[in-house]
Amino acid sequence: MARPQRIVLVRHGESEGNADDTVYEREPDHALRLTGTGWRQAEAAGVRLRQIFGQETVSAYVSPYRRTHETFRAIGLDPEKVRIREEPRLREQDWGNWQDRDDVKLQKAYRDAYGHFFYRFAQGESGADVYDRVGAFLESLHRSFESPDHPPNVLLVTHGLTMRLFCMRWFHWSVGEFEALSNPGNGETRTLLLGADGRYTLDRPFDHWRVPESYGATG
Q: From the candidates 14, 16, 87, 92, give the one annotated as an active-site residue.
A: 92
Q: From the candidates 12, 69, 116, 159, give the one annotated as an active-site residue.
A: 12
Instruction: Report which of 103, 37, 48, 97 is spatially closest to residue 77, judged by C-alpha positions.
Output: 48
Tell me how far apart the alpha carbons of residues 34 and 21 are, in angstroms, rounded to a whole number. Answer: 14
Tell me how far apart the alpha carbons of residues 9 and 159 are, in angstroms, rounded to a whole number. Answer: 9
Is 30 a known active-site residue? no
Is 92 a known active-site residue? yes
Tell me how far apart the alpha carbons of residues 187 and 11 are, in angstroms, rounded to a whole number. Answer: 5
- What is the 8-class DSSP label of residue 79? T
Give the β-pairing of 189-194 and 200-202. Answer: antiparallel
DSSP readout, 81-128?
TEEEEE-GGGSPPP--S---HHHHHHHHHHHHHH-TTT-B-TTS-BHH
Residues identified as active-site: 12, 92
